[in-house]
Amino acid sequence: MTAAGTATSPVPADGAFVVTLDRYAGPLDLLLHLIRREEIDIWDIPIARIADQFLRAMHALGLDEAAEYLEMAARLLRIKAQLLLPRRGDDLAWEDPRHELVRRLLEYQQVREIAEWLDGAARGRASRFARGFVPPAPDTPPPPLEFTIEELLEAVQRVLSMMPDPVIHRVVPRPLDVEAATTRLIETLGSRERFGWREVLGPSPTTVDVLSSLVALLELARSGWLRLAQSRPFTPFVISRGPAYQTT
């Protein structure tokens, strides 16, 4: 990301904050500018001097925190350090640490030159007008469909035949039948003083039967018709007549 002080900055859709510099298109541009200003031979860059100038320019332009400029500053300082290392005069394997930088600078310089050429070409084109302004043709709407109802039904049939047989679930409403469960409980209480919870349910109770009976039991226990007792948690409870029990 290019960052700098003065320029206006559109915020792109992805939220990244991009700031474009008025004067320099990046660290390579700034470096080339310094090299040109100092009339330096690009093949023999005095790294120590140019690194100082680069840092000073960064500071003056308020680029102290721009990552790309910091990276270039670090690169310059590393090259400066490498050049300070002692080496033997006849060391053939030694490679000038400035080489890669010079290659990139020249490559960038070439890009700049092409960019200027493109700008000139675009300006040349822009000053020659084509005949009048012709609005671009709108996307033509699809032609209206023409078919008979038979054709449509056939098409539907074709689509349906490709589908696997649908599995149709029938949803049956099953409300809790608390009333019936209450009647059954009261009847049982009438014939027996104590009985177990399981005896209230039939031989093969459904979920709805169990729930209905439970609600009926709790309701009757609350109104005192019956008493619920349990010897330990989670053991089957025993139902007996409560204080409000009346024979009907």
Partner 1 sequence: MDQRTRLLEAALFAAPRPLALDELSALDAEATDADWLGAIQELREHYDHEGHGVELVEIAGGYQVLTRQAFAEAIERAAFSSRPVRLSTAALEVLAIISYRQPVGRAEVEEIRGVSSAGVLRLLQERGLIEVSGRSEGLGRPLLYATTPQFLEYLGLGDLADLPRSDELTIALAPPLADG
Binder to partner 1 among 62, 74, 100, 110 (CB under 8 A)? 110
Whole-number CA gyration radius for the chain:
45
Gap between the Cα atoms of 25 and 11, Å rounded: 18
SS3 242: coil
Q: What type of residue sits at position 50?
A: I
18 lies in the site for partner 1, by CB under 8 A: yes
Give, as ranges, the residues between 212 and 231 that touch partner 1 (CB under 8 A): none
Minimum CB–partner distance for residue 63 and partner 1 (Å):
12
Q: What type of residue sits at position 177?
A: D
Binder to partner 1 among 108, 197, 237, 245 (CB under 8 A)? 108
Gap between the Cα atoms of 23 and 239, Å rounded: 92
65 lies in the site for partner 1, by CB under 8 A: no
Q: Kindly state the tokens that stand for 41.
A: 């031979």
Gap between the Cα atoms of 195 and 211, Å rounded: 18
81 lies in the site for partner 1, by CB under 8 A: no
Strand order in the sheet with 226-229: 194-196, 238-241, 226-229
Binder to partner 1 among 49, 59, 125, 174 (CB under 8 A)? 125
Binder to partner 1 among 117, 152, 208, 236 (CB under 8 A)? 117
100 lies in the site for partner 1, by CB under 8 A: no
Binder to partner 1 among 38, 100, 113, 193 (CB under 8 A)? 113
Q: Quick check: 69 and 63 in contact, CB under 8 A?
A: yes
77 lies in the site for partner 1, by CB under 8 A: no
Q: Which parts of this chain interact with partner 1 (CB under 8 A)?
A: 1-2, 10, 12, 16, 18, 20, 25-28, 43, 68, 72, 102-104, 106-119, 121-134, 136
